[in-house]
Structure 1
Amino acid sequence: MGSPKFALQTLDILYYDKNFDIKLVVSAPDKKRSRGKVTPTPIKEYALGKGLDVITPYSVNTDEFVEELQKREIDFIIVVAFGQLIGKKLLDVYEDRIINLHPSLLPKYRGASPMQFSLLNGEKKTAATAMLIEKGMDSGDILIQSEVPIGDDEDYFDLEERLSQVGAEAIRDALLNFDKVYAERIKQNDEEATYCTKITKEMGKIDWNKSSDEIVNKVRAFVEYPVAFFTYQGKNMKVHKAKVLSGYEANPSYVYKANPKEGLIIGTGNGAIEIKTIQAPGKKAMASETFLLGNKIEEKKKLDE
């Protein structure tokens, strides 16, 4: 069970391993994506290309769906970024046989957006965790937890790619050694649990009173969605890449530099950042130096002046 790109590595590694026979792939229904075109999820598209059976139910918590699984004599259900909660009916029938991949150092960052919040909060490490699903939110016992360092310059795309690979290997290893990892499974400490919320578009707005590190972390975390942004002359300017600079005084939203030679440097609550890649409404993202060849942002003023 999976839907987005993050789940592809797991499906791929299981498909090519002769120890496994994938009886069924379950994904989200097709929907309108870019430019109104109705397209399948990356997982459905991959599965169809490999000749695998695919279904896209609006709910996996029906008698019909459970009966469909039972007809196929399924041993394990693997869940990776599927997007639906697994209800009591499935949990009862496949007790301790539903394994989830969660990209965080559980019990930290339970919930829908652990990779983004790990970056947003400036964490230096995270993990790919293969865990049992139970009725709680990402609270099941841990089978395998593979720690991964987070590089200072890594953004969401970088982290997603690495964790999808490490996570795929963790799922494969949990299945191949299930009796052992199940016997040695680790119960999560609920008192240490933290939770992350669903990401909204408004969360991308840059607050220039924040520190340089906090602003750059927001850029790194939200580079896929919603993309960090600031407003200049009534237009929302998206920031795809930025870095912390030293040697500048705190002066929030003050434009220190804005020219093709020196780039775009803006003051923060404790110094300044350089915006490396910017995107104006209706335009492609580009290097700030290129953007400033044809677009003007006034220097020596605050953005809202």
Structure 2
Amino acid sequence: MNILFAGTPEPSAKLLQSLCNNERMNIIGVITKPDVAQKRGNKIKQSHVSLAAFEANLPIFKPDDLNSAEFKETLLKLDFDFLVVAAYGKILPNWMLASPKVMPINVHYSLLPKYRGASPIQSCLLNGDEKTGITFIKMNNKLDEGDCIDKYEMQVRDDHNKVTLEEDLCNLAIENIFTVLSNVNQNNFGLLKQNNEASTYCKKIIKQDSLINFEMSSDEIYNKFRAYYEWPGIAFEHKNTIVKIKGMYVLDKNNTCLDNEIFKFDKSLLTAKTADKTIVITHLQFPNKNIISSTDAFNSYKEFFIK
């Protein structure tokens, strides 16, 4: 099977590598986002997919404009059965969706129609879902609305965060993508339309989403910590200072404290009172400082929290 692959982040690069390692797959080219100039040192940063494609000695396309005449002419000269898309980051034009001989297929990290859009993994964790999965869809020109080819479910653990859940979902995709492509190639599949009335959408995460307040429940705070573990993290404002929470857990008991103090040190463990329970902050970071433990915070910042 000849495959044109499109993707950008690290999980997509791992999926690409798995396809390259399968002798029945022939990757004829890779589409990814253009390189970006970093703010520091003016260095050029390539996407993870770009680096993986380079290591595999594959043709790489990084179009600024998917509808440019030059890119369109180049792509239409290629001979491929499938266009496989995994978190490329742009909605593809109709002419691209019509270009593969067999089908354009998208790998989406949720059980569609739930969590269409840019942040399905974070949304799953934010909402405290107990299960999630991946969906293979036949792509159309709308956002994650194509007919479903197949779905694969998995349980979400309490200790899953964005990084670990994404890794497990990526492995789930790697385990099943060859079966899906083979079945479609042999016309051994069915399409199931998505229930648009049951659809939900998730937004693009921004830096400002990191802020929490302690009027939130402990589960809301912990789920936000899990969802934003990689970026942007979570932080709170206290005494006009933004402090990042780099490690935490929830005490499994209701908050019975009646005073108005949010923070307390319990044997050098920093605790914070929430709307319902108490959380323990194990590691934190002040602006322009290194990450410290709650013991270090007790020794150096006790008055910041208590007074």
Q: After TM superposition, is the score higher than 0.5?
A: yes
Higher strand fraction: Structure 1 or Structure 2? 2
Which among 15, 22, 27 is matched to residue 17 of structure 1?
22
1:147-200: CA deviations, max 9, x gaps? 111111111111111111112233222112214676322211111100011112
Which among 25, 49, 60 is matched to residue 54 of structure 1?
60
Distance in 1 between residues matched to 2:165 and 2:184, nearest whole Å: 27
Q: Name the residue aligned to 2:13.
A: 8
Tell me which amino acid in the other structure corresponds to 2:150: I
Q: Is the 8 A contact 1:144 1:170 kept in 2?
A: no
Distance in 1 between residues matched to 2:74 and 2:122, nearest whole Å: 35
1:208-250: CA deviations, max 9, x gaps? 1111101110111111221111012222111133211114236
Q: Name the residue aligned to 2:80.
A: 74
- Give the Å deviation of 1:256: 4.1
Which among 173, 183, 187 is matched to residue 167 of structure 1?
173
Mapped pair 1:131 → 2:137 = yes
Gaps of 5+ in 1: none
Q: Name the residue aligned to 1:254.
A: 261
Q: Is the 8 A contact 1:104 1:127 kept in 2?
A: yes
Tell me which amino acid in the other structure corresponds to 2:34: P
Secondary structure at the counterpart of residue 295 of structure 1 = helix
TM-aligned CA distance change 1:296 to 1:41, over 3 Å: same
Distance in 1 between residues matched to 2:160 and 2:17, nearest whole Å: 24
Distance in 2 between residues matched to 1:193 and 1:95, nearest whole Å: 30
Secondary structure at the counterpart of residue 302 of structure 2 = coil
Distance in 1 between residues matched to 2:238 and 2:260, nearest whole Å: 10
TM-aligned CA distance change 1:230 to 1:256, over 3 Å: closer
Distance in 2 between residues matched to 1:56 and 1:223, nearest whole Å: 29
Q: Name the residue aligned to 1:93.
A: 99
Mapped pair 1:31 → 2:50 = no
- Give the Å deviation of 1:146: 0.9
Q: Is the 8 A contact 2:136 2:148 kept in 1?
A: yes
- Give the Å deviation of 1:297: 5.0
Mapped pair 1:194 → 2:213 = no
Q: Is the 8 A contact 1:10 1:169 kept in 2?
A: no
How many correspondences in the alignment?
300
TM-aligned CA distance change 1:196 to 1:10, over 3 Å: same
TM-aligned CA distance change 1:96 to 1:278, over 3 Å: farther
Mapped pair 1:268 → 2:274 = yes
Secondary structure at the counterpart of residue 225 of structure 1 = coil
TM-aligned CA distance change 1:95 to 1:293, over 3 Å: farther
Mapped pair 1:117 → 2:120 = no
Tell me which amino acid in the other structure corresponds to 1:143: I
Q: Name the residue aligned to 2:3.
A: none
Distance in 1 between residues matched to 2:260 and 2:176, nearest whole Å: 44
Distance in 2 between residues matched to 1:221 and 1:8, nearest whole Å: 21
Tell me which amino acid in the other structure corresponds to 2:295: E
Q: Is the 8 A contact 1:250 1:268 kept in 2?
A: no
Distance in 2 between residues matched to 1:251 and 1:216, nearest whole Å: 22
Q: Is the 8 A contact 1:29 1:57 kept in 2?
A: yes
Q: Name the residue aligned to 1:183.
A: 189
